[in-house]
Structure 1
Amino acid sequence: MKARLELGDVFAVPLDDTRAGIGQVVATYGQGAFYFAIFDLMVHPDDAINRVDEALAAPLLFLAPSLDARLPVPYLTVIGERPVREGLPLPAHREVDAENFVHVVDFSGRRRRPATDDEARRLQNRRFIAPLRLARAMRATAGLEPWTDSYAALIPDEELSSARLFGTEVGGSARMATDGQTVVHSWVQTGGQPEGPTDGQPADGQSSGQATGPAEDRTDDRPGAQSEHQTGGQATTAGVAWAPEPVRAYRPTAVTREWWDDWHPNTPRRPVVAGAGA
């Protein structure tokens, strides 16, 4: 039996004696994190292995990242392996850098760009969940326990997917497609080292960390810069929604002395009890 989950693994999520959901590992993040997809089909637990293909063709119900990789994983039973279907709305996420600027980051963490105001408001931070949360969300969908607002974050949003905000990755090249125009996405600077794919260069195998593709095939990730792809000496501009200026995250700050002066006078003091400690 394998020791860890792998991309493409299909699993069952038992809900009770008569119902189980089916999900799949559909993407990876870093070295030990996965994106779990749950499909909108309930099956009998004893029949789950025979209905894998039917379940994987059903509409997507939940999609979320999880750090649980070692087997056995609580609440999940691996029942097979299948290719991951194309077109799943893998999410983009929101990240704030050390200078408080907001960035859009794709599901893999390899592509990023400055966020627009709308993206900064709507995107969520990447939050890893336990398989138990997926199981409980499925139980709530089946009416076995109350639905809570926290489960709504597990529902995929096509408008905020990596494919919508960055384009799709084809043949190792990360391409941005907007309004029918296509442009090769640039290498991005993370921690002082460029990473991410260039045209014709898969991310795998780039051991040196140096961009080897032609310079004109890289876009400019600076805020307000236009993306250009040189073709035959002519530059074509893609209609990518780059942020006109860096968007700062809202982080209220307070000077310690000001905070204390505001808090102290309004704080009720503990009553003195006569004879206490006598």
Structure 2
Amino acid sequence: MNPDATKRNKRIKKGDSKPGETSSRDGDVFMIPLDNGKAYLGQVIATPNYANTYIVIFDFLANEKDAARHVDEALSSSPLLAGLTITPFKVRPTWKIIMNRPLTSRDADRFLPAYFASVRGKKIIEDFYRKRSRPASPDEEAAAFNAIVNNRNAIRNTKLITARRSISAATFEAALRAINGLETWNERYADLCADRVVLARDVFGSQC
């Protein structure tokens, strides 16, 4: 876990997060209700700064009224959507923090991505906390540049290391609604699919 995030998490609150809080910290488990009486559960995996939050939404659909009873099942499920978003619990009041489950290094290994970046003119691949990096290959640079220019994952059926960017919480919610047939699927939602994420552990090795 990022040391700065650890200090910030302690300042936000000692002990477990209160249900309904709008300030999140690492490990917070939250609920995203749909309009059909169902809800998804997700977890805050990292808070690299005061605005950005890396979240994972699990492939587990529960009844909204008793979703909190299924936290263990949800957290053991495969990730469905994942990515950086900005202050999701402030901009989407329907997203509710229901409890906190402390994270371990295994959680970082399981979820956190590698990113493409440009540092002093050099194109690199770096881990989530910018502690490990290596030069980007020509193919990685070309693919990441294409995704940046087109503002989308140009190769939608493959994993791709992309540049770091935040996606609105509303887009995450719209993707969930589309998955459940509540609105039309948009191809840009594919960028949120967790199975497209290249994990930092797969690039730099496990830190467990």
TM-score by length of 1: 0.55
Distance 1:49 1:159 in 2: 27
Partner of 2:125: 104
Alignment of 1:188-267 (within 5 A): none
The Cα shift of 1:29 comes to 2.0
Distance 1:48 1:34 in 2: 22
How many residue pairs are counted as aligned between the two chains?
169
The Cα shift of 1:83 comes to 2.9
Partner of 2:59: 40
Would the alpha carbon gap of residues 107 and 49 (structure 1) be closer, same or farther in structure 2, given more than 3 Å must change? same
The Cα shift of 1:157 comes to 4.2
Partner of 1:89: 111
Distance 2:31 2:64 in 1: 8
Distance 1:81 1:37 in 2: 14
Deviations 1:206-244 (A, max 9, x none): xxxxxxxxxxxxxxxxxxxxxxxxxxxxxxxxxxxxxxx
Distance 2:186 2:89 in 1: 28
What is the Cα-based RMSD across aligned positions, in Å?
2.2
Distance 2:89 2:176 in 1: 22
Partner of 2:99: 80
TM-score by length of 2: 0.73
Match of 2:78 among 50, 56, 59: 59
8 A Cα contact 2:113 2:199, kept in partner: yes
8 A Cα contact 2:58 2:77, kept in partner: yes
Larger RCO, structures 1/2 (Cα 8 Å, 6+ apart): 2
Distance 1:130 1:153 in 2: 12
Distance 2:169 2:101 in 1: 20
8 A Cα contact 2:92 2:170, kept in partner: no
Bigger Rg, which one: 1
Distance 1:34 1:148 in 2: 23
Deviations 1:133-167 (A, max 9, x none): 11111111111111111111111247721111112
The residue type equivalent to 1:18 in the other structure is G
Identity percentage of aligned residues:
34
Distance 2:63 2:77 in 1: 16
Alignment of 1:116-135 (within 5 A): 116-120=137-141, 121=143, 122-135=160-173
Distance 1:89 1:81 in 2: 17
* 2:182 equivalent to 1:160: no
In terms of fraction of residues, the more helix-rich structure is: 2
8 A Cα contact 1:74 1:132, kept in partner: no
SS at the partner of 2:203? helix
SS at the partner of 2:111? coil
Distance 1:133 1:117 in 2: 31
